[in-house]
Structure 1
Amino acid sequence: MGSVLDTRSLNRATLARQLLLGRAALSAEDAVAHLLGLQAQNVKPPYFQLHARLVGFRPAALAELMESRKVVRMVTMRSTIHTHTAHDALTLRPLVQAARDREVNAFRKGLAGVDPQRLGELARAFVEAEPRTMGEIREELLGHWPDADPQSLSVAARCRLPLVQVTPRGVWGRSGQVRLTTLQQWIGRPAAGEAAPQYQVDDVVLRYLGAFGPASVKDMQTWAGLTRLRDAFERLRPRLAVFRDENGVELFDLPDAPRPDAGTPAPPRFLPEFDNLLLSHADRTRVIAPELKGRTWTGNQSHRTLLVDGFVAGLWLWEEGTLTIELFGKVSKAEKEHIVAEGERMIAEMGEQSEMGEQSETAETGGRPSVRFGSIHG
C-alpha cells in the first residue's frame, strides 16, 4: 500500500509537471516534447498553452517551428488534433493505431465492399502527390467506390493514414484551409513502424507520468484514448513510486519527479479551451472541484478556464480588446489583483494579429489593457 496523496498534493504535483507552478525557461520545442503534445482542436490554443507555461514566450516561436516542420498538427490522442514534435508524431501515431482501427470499424456498414488496404494505398498516393482537402480525398475515393458512404470513406482515410495539416494552417498571423498529406511526406522521415514496440509503449508511460503524474492506469488510458495499458504499468512497477489517492485508487509516478508541498503557492493562469491539463485524467478533481463539473463545457465545446490557487475558478473571454473574466466564486482582493496582472500580461504579450486572420486583439486599449469581471455565458 502506497502512501496517500490528498487532492491538493496531487494538484501541486500535476501543476509542477505541467509547468504551471512557475513559468519554465524552456524552448517552445522542448516544452511541446515535455508535455507530449498540445491539444489543438482549435488553432489558437497551443500558443496560449505555451504562454501560460514558458518564460518570455511569443507566438512567433511556435509559428517558426510549424513552418520549419519541427512540429506538426495531426490526429493522435483521443482521436483529436494535437500539436506534436516531429519525433513524437512518429512515435505516438503508431501507438494509437489500434484505436483508430476500432474507429473505422464503427463505420463498417458504410464501407461495404471497400478494400481497406487498397483505400490506404490510393489515399496515400493522392495526398503525397500534393496536399489535399478532406473533401478532395473523399471525392477521389468515391471515384473508386461510388456506392460507399462518403463520411465513412473520410473516416477510413483519416484513421488509416498518419495525416498532418500542412502550413499555413496553424501558423500564428496567417490563415489557411485544412490541407493534408502524410506525416512521412511532410517531415521527410520514415514512420517508426506500423505498431509501437513494447519499449515504445513503456517509454510513453514514463513520459506521461513525467508530464501528468502521479496518475492511475485509467488516467493514462483517458489521456491516450486507449485501453489495456495495465501490462505496461506492471512491467514498469519496479521502477515506479506507488501512491494512493483519498479514494484508494493506485497512483504511479516517477520516483524523482517533483511532488511539491500541498501549500506551495500556485499563481493564476489563463488556459485556453481544450487544455490537456483538464482532459488527461479519468479523475479530474485534482484540478476541477466536483461541484463545478460541467461548468467548463457547452455541448462538445470546451471553454477557456482560469486557474486560481491551482484549481479551475472561472472562465474568460477575450474579444474586441477586452478580457472578461467570470469567476465561479469569491476570491480575495490580493487574488483578484494577481488575476488582473496576469490578464494584463497575457494581453500585452499575446495581443497581436491572430493566426486566423481575424480582427487584431491588440494590447493598445487606450492605456492599461482592459480587464473586467462579469458574466460570459449568461
Structure 2
Amino acid sequence: MGILSLNALNRALIERQMLRERADRSALATIEHLFGIQAQEPKSPYVGLWTRLRDFRPQELEALLTNREAVRILLMRGTIHLVSARDALGLRPHTQLKLDRELRSGPFAARLRGLDFDEIAEAGRKILDDTPQGTAEAGKQLKERWPDREHTVLGNALRNKLALVQLPPRGLWHSSGRAICTTVENWLGAPQQAMDKEELVLRYLGAFGPATVMDAQQWSGLTKLTETFNALRPRLVTFRNEAGKELFDLPDAPRPDPETPVPVRLLPEFDNVLLAHSDRRRVIADDRLGVVIGGKPTVLVDGFVVATWAVTKDRAITVDYIDAQPKSRQKAVAEECDRLQDWINAT
C-alpha cells in the first residue's frame, strides 16, 4: 500500500476530470463520465463542458435537455445537477433519505410539523404532472387543502419529497427561464430505480478517485458507505494519503506522475472538482474554500485554485488573483481567458 502525495492526488483528479487535455467526446458521454455536473447556476454546465471538450457548442447541450436525454434535477448534496436521463432515474432514490432528514430538521421543519408528507407529495404530483409549474405556484394550490400553512413552505416540501426535473427553457444557453417543474417519471416516461451502491461507488472513483470513504460520502450526501467499500475491496486497490488515511481506487484508473504538466483551466461556479471530497486540499487550499462557498468561478494554475474570474457586462473576462503569480503564469491565464471570451462571443 503506497503513499500518494497531495500532488499525485491532484494529477489523478485533473486527469479523470478531463482537465489536462480537452477531449474529443460527446457532451452526453462526458456528463456520464463525470457522474453529473453541478448546475445550480444554469449556465455553469456550458462552461464546465467547454473547459473539458474540444469544439463544444452550447447547442449540443441544449439538444440533450430538450430531447430529454439529460435533465436538471436535485441530487448530490441536495443541489441541482445536470445528469443523463439514465443517471437521474438511478441516482435520485439515493438522495431521498437526505432530503427527508432536511424536512424533519431543516429551516422549514417547524412550519411543516404535523403534516403527512406522503399525502402532500401525492397531491403535488397530480398538480405538477398535469401542469408543470414552479413549486411555489403548486404550493398555492396545496394551500387550498392545507390553509393553515404557507404556500412557499408547502412548495418546499414538494421540492424534497418529489423527484422534480427543471424543464427547458430553464438551463438553455440563451434563456434565463424560471424553474418550471414536473416529476422525473412524468418527463422521462420511466420509473426511478436505484442503482446499486457498488456501481455508485465505482463510478465515483472513476471520476474522482483515489478517495476515502468520507470523500465519497461528502460528494454523494450518503452515509454509512464503509460497508459498500469493504464489499468492493477485492476489486479495488488501496493507498494512503500523507495523513495516513486509506484511499480506494480502481486498479486501472489513471494515476499520472505527480509532476505531469497541466494547463490553465477556468472552472464555473460550484464545479464538482471543488466539492467532491471531504479533504479538498488536492485542488484548493483550506483558506480558499470561501471562494467556492461564495459561488465564484475559479482559475486552476498547475492544477490548483489561484484566482477567481468573472464576465463583465460587456463580456470581458476579469481575473482576481488570490495571491501573487509570476508573469508567465499570468500570461497563460490571460490566454485562456481570451479563448473563453472568444467562445462566448461566438455563441
The ranges of structure 1 where at least 4 consecutive aligned residues each deviate by more than 4 angstroms after the TM superposition are: none
- 8 A Cα contact 2:43 2:172, kept in partner: no
Aligned to 2:82: 83
For the structure 1 residues 79 and 249, does the alpha-carbon distance in structure 2 shift closer, same or farther, using more than 3 Å as the test?
A: same
Structure 1: which 5+ residue stretches go unaligned? 354-378
Aligned to 1:66: 65
Which has a greater percent of helix? 2
Counterpart check, 1:318 vs 2:311:
yes
Between 116-125 and 82-91, report the one with greater CA deviation: 116-125
Aligned to 1:351: 345
* Letter aligned with residue 90 of structure 1: L
* Letter aligned with residue 219 of structure 2: W
Counterpart check, 1:25 vs 2:24:
yes
- 8 A Cα contact 2:264 2:300, kept in partner: yes
Aligned to 1:364: none
Structure 2: which 5+ residue stretches go unaligned? none
- For residues 135 and 209 of structure 2, the distance between their equivalents in structure 1, rounded to whole angstroms, comes to 36
SS across alignment from 1:302: coil
SS across alignment from 1:351: helix
Aligned to 2:190: 189
* CA positional deviation for 1:213: 0.5
- 8 A Cα contact 2:92 2:192, kept in partner: no
- 8 A Cα contact 2:73 2:165, kept in partner: yes
* Letter aligned with residue 344 of structure 1: D
- For residues 286 and 97 of structure 1, the distance between their equivalents in structure 2, rounded to whole angstroms, comes to 29
Aligned to 2:296: 303
SS across alignment from 2:282: coil
Aligned to 1:11: 10
* CA positional deviation for 1:64: 1.1
In the TM superposition, 1:159-308 aligns within 5 A as 159-192=160-193, 196=194, 200-294=196-290, 296-297=291-292, 300-308=293-301
- For residues 32 and 113 of structure 2, the distance between their equivalents in structure 1, rounded to whole angstroms, comes to 40
* CA positional deviation for 1:352: 4.9
- For residues 94 and 287 of structure 2, the distance between their equivalents in structure 1, rounded to whole angstroms, comes to 35
* Letter aligned with residue 232 of structure 1: T
- 8 A Cα contact 1:114 1:145, kept in partner: no
- Identity over the aligned pairs, expressed in percent? 44
Q: TM-score, normalised by structure 1?
A: 0.88
- 8 A Cα contact 2:22 2:54, kept in partner: yes
Between 97-106 and 240-249, report the one with greater CA deviation: 97-106
Q: How many residues align?
A: 344
- For residues 155 and 292 of structure 1, the distance between their equivalents in structure 2, rounded to whole angstroms, comes to 32
SS across alignment from 1:14: helix
- For residues 170 and 319 of structure 2, the distance between their equivalents in structure 1, rounded to whole angstroms, comes to 29
* Letter aligned with residue 322 of structure 1: A
SS across alignment from 1:204: helix
* CA positional deviation for 1:134: 1.5
- For residues 60 and 182 of structure 1, the distance between their equivalents in structure 2, rounded to whole angstroms, comes to 25
- 8 A Cα contact 2:100 2:160, kept in partner: yes
